[in-house]
Amino acid sequence: MTSPVTSRLDGDIAVVTIDNPPVNALGHAVRAGLAAEMAAHEANGAVAAVVLACAGRTFVAGADITEFGKPMQSPGLHEVIAQIGQMSKPVVAAIHGTALGGGLELALGCHYRIAIATAQFGLPEVKLGLLPGAGGTQRLPRVLGAVPALEIMTSGEFIGSDRALAGGLVQRIVPDLEGAALAFAREIAAARPLPLVAHDDGKLAEARANPGSIDEFARSIARKSRGFKAPAAIVDCVKAALDKPFAQGLAYERERFIELMNSPESAAQRFAFFAEREAGKVPGLASDTPTRPIRQAAVIGAGTMGGGIAMNFANAGIPVTLIETGAEALDRGLKTIRANYEATARRGGITPAEAEARVGRITGSLTLDAAATADIVTEAVFEDMALKKELFGKLDRIVRPDAILASNTSTLDVDEIAAATSRPERVLGTHYFSPANVMRLLEIVRGKATDPGVLASTMAMARKLKKVPVVVGVCYGFVGNRMLHRRSGQVESLLLEGASPAELDQALLDFGFPMGPCAMADLAGIDVGWRIRQGLGLKDAVSDRLHAAGRLGQKTGAGFFRYEPGNRAPIPDPAVDAIIAEAAAEKGVNRRTIPQDEILARLLYPMINEAAHILEEGIALRASDIDIVWFYGYGWPVYRGGPMYWADHVGLATIGDTLRKMADRLGDDRLKPAPLIERLAAEGRGFLSPKS
């Protein structure tokens, strides 16, 4: 088998090229190839310097994640980097695309780094529940300083070439890589001593003089790192870089890396990495299905969702027309958008100039005709079928024949909406999650007539809007809301049976959710849930009473909890306990103390059961898509894997048994285990087990 690493000589410069598509990951063959080529050039007297480059779209994007969890074959990456460090000739890393994880660590192990202006750099291992395990935690602080390095390693965010050059991560930004790399190598070939990051502690001085800065940084990320093991381990490794000689720091990093690699949290996050990529593939939809670019958009409805959706287009550089029926509503919507951008600029998320540019891409209008030239028209009006059908009928007569008509409905039948037009093949659902400009999930609801090109174009659009698209079928509530509906049912019965709103929320907070069901209902608005139930003819003995009492949630300062003015922290309220006790008495429910693990099972198992029905009906393409929906739409903690992954770890036999007991005790047949759960449990398999 040919090695993915080859060399050629250009005079006295050896050019070593890695060619391992799609992202030049450092699999075993690449590592072995690198070790062999470097050894050859070290031994070759005719070679004065080495350039390390990559073919294809990017420099090395990291270790090969598909090798994780398997016995590691030698040489390991840290051995290859150590070998380069012992060479008597300079090695220049020539970087384009992304230098990530092990790829950046490899470059940091070289003597010099040059890059083109569009290159990006990062150590995103934390997103896999890991830490940079090939010297990144010891070398990056020596280049950028301890705290800037910590910011990059604990956020997993990428930095651009400007910051890399300013921080000394690269020595030069060059227009064309190949020629400049050779010229640079010739320029430094004779320079001695050879510079190695490992030998230069200069940038550590500041943190060594102020060790409290590391603890302060650790405190600043504590809240958002809740439940994740890797960020704290990264902080410990940087402390080791400050306190220990380089070699000992490296050994300490290795130890912590292996600990994380063997952790269930990292296994779950690695699953999520590949699940997200799988979600982007639709069986039967060829990857080369022709797509139409979205150059202009229109959004109907300037409410909370419409405004957020419009911001997504503006953020991606796409001009968007925001259409409302009334001037007041339009004005309010545009003002909210401007305020959002100004707040982001104040926080330093974007520059004031960029904020202005984005506001400038959004044009308000009071006529539907303004949507006539749009490539995609997204409706975000009131969740009412008759209203949506009437609107789509009108749009059908206005918009271009090749335009895409999308509905942001969160529950309704997209086929019925499509049938209100003469072009159902150009209609689908694009279900954004609130706040629409922040939440990354986009449920793309494929109707029975939706054209493959329309679907592919909308998925491409989603990526351009930096959303994670998940294709789902038409049913009430699609995937996420349909499962959430089952959880809400248990919220009511658990409260009636004796659990308090605080106990319910604590069960999910301890599990890792950012918010519990009661606080979430207060955020969304008790009236919103009430109106949906009215539409479906459903009742909720507790929430209906809160609604009747005018406790609509945060917006009225009281819902399941009460809120101090200007403060979103939920405060338990005895008045709510009284309301619940009254409802329970009326229903003749005997109240009891409910253990937390029972609360958790009652909240999560019925959702998983509904997910099994969703899979059986083909509403979701695969189990891992459901996990992606819950990661990016509902804050399910990624280090536990999503509902399907977690269910497999609990065991479907256990879940089936518990559901059966729940159904019997609560007299609710909908809780009976789905046939899929019964079958898989009987076969000793899980939702994610490979097909037999």
Q: How far is the CB of 351 from ligand T1G (least distance, A)?
A: 24
> How far apart are alpha carbons 105 and 237 in whole angstroms?
15
The stretch near ligand T1G (CB under 6 A) out of 64-72, 159-167, 214-222, 434-442 is 64-72
Nearer to ligand T1G among residue 146 and residue 272 (C-beta): 272
Counting contacts by CB under 6 A, is residue 133 touching ligand T1G? yes
> How far apart are alpha carbons 230 and 345 in whole angstroms?
30
- Two tokens at 334? 């545009």
Nearer to ligand T1G among residue 202 and residue 264 (C-beta): 264
The stretch near ligand T1G (CB under 6 A) out of 128-136, 166-174, 192-200, 621-629 is 128-136
Under DSSP, the state recorded for 562 is: B
Please report where in the chains the tokens 């939809």 appear, as a residue. Answer: 285
Q: How far is the CB of 131 from ligand T1G (least distance, A)?
A: 7
Q: How far is the CB of 146 from ligand T1G (least distance, A)?
A: 18
Distance of CA 461 to the CA centre of its chain: 17
Q: How far is the CB of 133 from ligand T1G (least distance, A)?
A: 4
Counting contacts by CB under 6 A, is residue 272 touching ligand T1G? no
Distance of CA 202 to the CA centre of its chain: 36
> How far apart are alpha carbons 177 and 56 in whole angstroms?
13
The alpha carbon dihedral of 548, 552, 556, 562 has a sign of positive
Site string for ligand T1G, 501-540 (x = CB under 6 A): ----------------------------------------
Among 18, 23, 260, 374, binds ligand T1G (CB under 6 A): 23
- What would the DSSP string read from start to end of 303-333? SHHHHHHHHHHHHTT--EEEE-SSHHHHHHH
Distance of CA 294 to the CA centre of its chain: 23
User: Residue 193, preceding bond cis, omega within 30 degrees?
Assistant: yes
Residue ranges of E strands in 41-97: 49-54, 91-95
The stretch near ligand T1G (CB under 6 A) out of 22-30, 165-173, 320-328, 535-543 is 22-30
**Which residue out of 37, 67, 79, 105 is catalytically annotated?**
105
Counting contacts by CB under 6 A, is residue 129 touching ligand T1G? no
> How far apart are alpha carbons 649 and 647 in whole angstroms?
5
- Whether 505 and 516 have beta carbons less than 8 Å apart is answered as yes
Counting contacts by CB under 6 A, is residue 124 touching ligand T1G? yes
Angle (CA) 30-35-40 rounded to 5° is 125
Please give the residues from 277 up to 296 whose contact with ligand T1G meets the rule CB under 6 A. 277
Counting contacts by CB under 6 A, is residue 136 touching ligand T1G? yes
Counting contacts by CB under 6 A, is residue 42 touching ligand T1G? no
Q: Is position 105 annotated as part of the catalytic site?
A: yes
Q: How far is the CB of 310 from ligand T1G (least distance, A)?
A: 25
Please give the residues from 88 up to 117 whose contact with ligand T1G meets the rule CB under 6 A. 98, 100-102, 105
Please give the residues from 484 up to 503 whose contact with ligand T1G meets the rule CB under 6 A. none
The stretch near ligand T1G (CB under 6 A) out of 18-26, 240-248, 326-334, 436-444 is 18-26
> How far apart are alpha carbons 684 and 651 in whole angstroms?
9
The stretch near ligand T1G (CB under 6 A) out of 127-135, 184-192, 564-572, 675-683 is 127-135
**Which residue out of 42, 125, 443, 610 is catalytically annotated?**
125
Nearer to ligand T1G among residue 225 and residue 304 (C-beta): 225
Q: Is position 616 annotated as part of the catalytic site?
A: no
Among 94, 126, 134, 305, binds ligand T1G (CB under 6 A): 134
By three-state DSSP, how is residue 158 classified?
Answer: coil
Q: How far is the CB of 349 from ligand T1G (least distance, A)?
A: 21
- Two tokens at 406? 């999308």
Q: How many CB atoms lie within 10 A of CB 598?
A: 15
Counting contacts by CB under 6 A, is residue 132 touching ligand T1G? yes
Q: How far is the CB of 25 from ligand T1G (least distance, A)?
A: 4
By three-state DSSP, how is residue 246 classified?
Answer: helix
By three-state DSSP, how is residue 282 classified?
Answer: coil
Q: How many CB atoms lie within 10 A of CB 8?
A: 9
Counting contacts by CB under 6 A, is residue 61 touching ligand T1G? yes
> How far apart are alpha carbons 57 and 354 in whole angstroms?
28
By three-state DSSP, how is residue 159 classified?
Answer: strand
Please report where in the chains the tokens 């998320």 appear, as a residue. Answer: 349
Task: Please count the residues of this chain forming the interface with ligand T1G, following the rule CB under 6 A.
Answer: 25
- The residue among 273, 354, 373, 370 whose CA lies nearest residue 316 is 354
Q: Which residues pair with 121 in a beta bridge?
A: 99, 159
Nearer to ligand T1G among residue 257 and residue 561 (C-beta): 257
Among 37, 64, 396, 527, binds ligand T1G (CB under 6 A): 64
Nearer to ligand T1G among residue 102 and residue 643 (C-beta): 102
Q: How far is the CB of 77 from ligand T1G (least distance, A)?
A: 5
Nearer to ligand T1G among residue 14 and residue 61 (C-beta): 61
CA distance between the termini of the chain? 31
**Which sequence positions are flagged as catalytic?**
105, 125
Chain residues in the site for ligand T1G (CB under 6 A): 22-23, 25, 61-66, 77, 98, 100-102, 105, 124-125, 128, 130, 132-134, 136, 274, 277
